[in-house]
A and B are shown apart, each in its own frame.
Chain A
Amino acid sequence: MKKQVLTFKVNGDEYEILIHPKTLLAEAIRDHIGLTGTKRGCDTVSCGACTVLVNGMSVKSCSVLAIQCEGMEVSTVEGLEKHGKLSPIQRAFLDNGSYQCGFCTPGMLMSSTAFLDDLAGKKPTEEEIRESIEGNICRCTGYNSIVRAIDAVAQGKYKEE
């Protein structure tokens, strides 16, 4: 199969890259663009470490072909911080100690971000928060500190800076 040109936006910047059609979005982000914040922890779309947003929806980037993202907007963990200011969920993760080894953190943050964006101010139940990160495995924290962080942001305790 011949390589193809993919034009898409990552964290607001437009990229044009030449890729093999079977290149995964995760590979395009990490290996072609060099944004290594997005991780990979399995080969079975099970762990969620590679979660990014595609047009605002959370997507496991190992389950999508990069070429499917033609013309789309991809957001990765590197895009959460703006001009040195951390996003509410990033600050809530710091305050709640919601990370340990940090390998699942980028994916966890992106799933949380998509969930919080979708809430549009509605207050979620604890069960809904837990379900929002069901697709992300964390081997270190036991999740409860992550749930506390998401809840704190949903309760409006953190404002955009």
Chain B
Amino acid sequence: MSHKKFSVINTPVHNIDGIAKVTGRATYTFDVTLPGMLYGKILRSPHPHAKIVNIDTSRAMELPGVHAVVTGKDTLGIKQGIWRRYEELCDEQILPLEKVRYIGEPVAAVAAVTEEIAEAALDLIDVEYEVLPAVYEPLEAIKKDAPTIHEGVERNVNVTRHIEWGDADEGFEEADYIREDWFKCSGQHHMCMETRAAVSSFTPEGKLTVWTSTQSAYYHQGLLAGVFGLREGDVRILAPYVGGGFGGKFEIDSAQFCSGVLSMKLHKPVKIVLTREEDFIASKRRTPMFYYVRTGMKKDGTFCARESRMFSNGGAYTGMGATALYLSGFFHSFPYKWKSYRYDGYRVYTNTMPSTSMRGFGAPQAMFCSEQQIDWMCADLGLDPFEVRRKNGHTEGYEVPGQAFIASCGLEQCINEIEKWVKAKGKLPANRGIGISSCGFMSGGIFNWFDSPYSFSSAVVTINVDGTVGLHVGCQDIGQGSNTTMAIIAAETLGVKIEDIKVHSGDTDHCPADLGAWGSRQTLMAGNAVKMACEDAKKQLLEFAYAEMGINIVYDLDIKDRWVHIVARPERGLPYGDLVKKALRGKDGQRIMGRGYYTPHRKGMISPAYSYMMQAVDAEIDPETGKIKIHEVMTAHDCGQPINPLGLIGQLEGAASMALGYAYLEDMPFEDGKMMNPNLVDYKVIKAPEMPKTDIIEIDTYEPEGPYGAKEAGEGLTNPTAAALGNAVFNAMGIQMKELPLTPERIRTALREKKEQEAQK
């Protein structure tokens, strides 16, 4: 536990980009206009699976105002993917040469002087398709006689993942009670307020600059250089303000790729912004998953064994979906000490839009199954769900066999706090229940399927003569406030004020490489790099301070609130600004510069650190309509040392709204491969009136691997909510919900089935 007194950390501050955002000054890719810029539009496949026999672009080219029409033949035809270390998983040509594999897949793109002309030109492109049989569900696609989606991929199995420790067969033999269930977890759309967008500008020097809405400028630099046959250093990615990401904006999208192809052909800037409908049907989505879960428990609630099989709907291509397959299987074991655990995951290609990472990264699905089944088993055996979770939960110092080491863990305190809260609520009215769910999440992944030769995070800090600080980072602020978090860590470490720090990010030309915003990695990884860079710069300053102050070398010097001083005698010192001026002269005028980096080593298979949490959802169900009303969500949360308290509350409340949406509102129904609700009228997200009160209890822990003891916050809290709501419905109505989202129709059906079963008895 940390008892250090901080100057800047854990004090509420305005986000450093706040004024830009509340005054309309913040410009997004959506707002970028360049001189001579053309507008691009993309023609998309109406078929879920078809051979491209011929594309005739001649009529479109004749339309006045059209500058270029491109198809797969205008590309290098490189198959790309973000798992670029594994060639077989690089399976997507964004303008495919031979066939289309989902409705909405790009087949051609147009650049014209206006968006209207580009749109009109799409109607003049003649594509001849040979329609092929298609398959949409993983359990169908895996059958022997299913259509082949990728040549040579047997039974459409894209990736498999096996995780095992202990002897599960032995574990089940020891169990007093075994239960098995099938679950169906739906997809979900990231639905960023800013749709995918890019402005590409290729100039005669052979250099490409791309302004884009991205979660990782560095990934896009590497990926776009790869598909365009350019050197990485010749591709500059600029990420202006980014209108949301949530896991959906770090693979190449069609706006980036097609604008790049068009710009390279024309040597003019080309802007493509996906419409909301395009963003829905042809970006990517949370991975839909079918889970078979078998769990063995002793009479006293001790977990003996778990064996799970998962089949995910991978859609047409791999992308980040491979990571979701692994992480889902790992977090399905969380946050418990399983003596034996066996998971087999199968990611299956189908003729639907590809699935990928989304906030929670496979864990919300895994927890929906696991945490409900645990409650049902507790009910079957007459056990207390809090007690069973405490008995089996992770504790500090635990090692997930062969997978992970838990250095800090506040799970037990989380369970205790929520138990108190639930009990204080007392007896609830009819048709109302509280459900609980616990879980944990990673603080950045340690895997390197991207094959980055750079450190996972890097930072460079420079101190100017007036004491102001330039902080250059590669981590990406997508609204979660990472620039503010980095500024806080820098100000704390250097002993200056937050307003002294200017953060530079989102520009591959001027910022060091960093893997970017995914898997809750930036606070820990980029935070460590920033801390190291600032310590490096501070050390250089303090060397001058020792000489300047002429003090005994056994004394420790430090800087706090712009005051350089002897730690034991804080009144003895000199102003930070004076020291900087002198230090500069002492270095022959060289600016003070610090460098920092972070790459995890010997931290297991998944992540250097894990957050823990328990959530309770208080919900009421209308037995006639099946409609759910959420009264309150309460969360106890261990994220180590909070850095930015206002940002933390925002992350947790935001996670609750997205996770509630996943639990009971957001659905992506498909018919014959076609998404039926690709607009914001029919795709229901939480709005202000439905949003319940969401309070948070922070549990005080200290994570030794994190900067100042910090670890993950914000993504992990997407994980427990669907399960907690499912458990609330179970406690209120006695029905077991095995399919997401918990729509009124599904609840009515479950209630009717329950009634019928009771009548039979």
Contact = CB atoms under 8 A, between A and B. Distances in A.
Interface stretch (B16-24, B327-335, B434-442, B577-585): B16-24
A82 B293 CA distance: 60
B481 to A, nearest CB: 7
A58 to B, nearest CB: 14
Nearest to B656: A142
Nearest to A133: B688
Interface stretch (A39-47, A65-73, A151-159): A39-47
B679 interface: yes
A23 B208 CA distance: 33
Interface string A104-132: 11100100000000000000000101110
Interface string B9-29: 000001101111111111110
Contacts of A49: 193
B24 A100 contact: no
Q: Is the interface of A mostly helix, strand, loop or mixed?
A: loop
Interface in A65-114: 76-78, 80-81, 86, 90, 93-97, 99-106, 109
B104 to A, nearest CB: 16
Contacts of B23: 37, 77-78, 80-81, 86, 90
B689 A138 contact: no
A139 interface: yes
The interface centre, meaning the residue of B20, B192, B193, B681 with most chain A CB atoms within 10 A of its CB, is B193
Given A41-B193, A99-B22, A142 B687 contact: no
Nearest to A40: B30
B187 interface: no
A112 to B, nearest CB: 11
Contact of A146 (B192, B649, B688): B688
B474 interface: no
B654 interface: yes
Q: Is the interface of B mostly helix, strand, loop or mixed?
A: loop
A16 interface: no
A136 B689 CA distance: 11
B273 to A, nearest CB: 9
B579 to A, nearest CB: 32
A66 to B, nearest CB: 16
B24 A77 contact: yes
Contact of A141 (B18, B653, B680): B653
A37 B276 CA distance: 19
A99 B18 contact: yes
A38 interface: yes
Contact of A41 (B276, B479, B689): B276
B686 interface: yes
A156 B210 CA distance: 45
A4 interface: no
A94 B23 CA distance: 11
A138 B15 CA distance: 18
The interface centre, meaning the residue of B17, B20, B480, B653 with most chain A CB atoms within 10 A of its CB, is B653
Nearest to B685: A137
A143 B657 contact: yes
B724 to A, nearest CB: 16
A86 B30 CA distance: 25
Contacts of A127: 689
A100 B650 contact: yes
Interface residues of B, number: 54
Interface stretch (B238-246, B262-270, B749-757): B238-246
Contact of A78 (B21, B24, B650, B687): B24
A44 B15 contact: no
Given A77-B24, A101-B192, A137 B687 contact: yes
Interface string B176-205: 000000000000000111110000000000
A18 interface: no
Nearest to A106: B24
Interface in B650-709: 650, 653-658, 679-681, 685-689, 691, 693-694
B448 interface: no
B689 to A, nearest CB: 5
Contacts of A133: 688
Contacts of A81: 23
Contacts of B691: 130, 142-144
B19 A94 contact: yes
A13 B694 CA distance: 43
B277 interface: yes
B113 to A, nearest CB: 13
A86 B19 contact: yes
B494 to A, nearest CB: 24
A14 interface: no
A97 B681 contact: no
A144 B694 contact: yes
B21 A137 contact: no
Contacts of B654: 100, 139-142
A99 B651 CA distance: 10
Given A134-B687, A143-B691, A145-B650, A102 B26 contact: yes
Contact of B649 (A78, A80, A97): A97
A6 interface: no
10 contacts: A30-B31, A41-B243, A44-B276, A81-B23, A86-B22, A100-B479, A102-B20, A131-B689, A139-B654, A140-B244
Given A130-B691, A145-B649, 4 more contacts: A36-B30, A39-B28, A94-B18, A105-B21
The 9 closest A-B pairs by CB, nearest first: A37-B24, A101-B479, A102-B21, A103-B243, A142-B657, A46-B680, A142-B653, A77-B24, A103-B193
Interface of B: 14-15, 17-28, 30-31, 191-195, 241-244, 246, 275-277, 478-481, 646-647, 649-650, 653-658, 679-681, 685-689, 691, 693-694
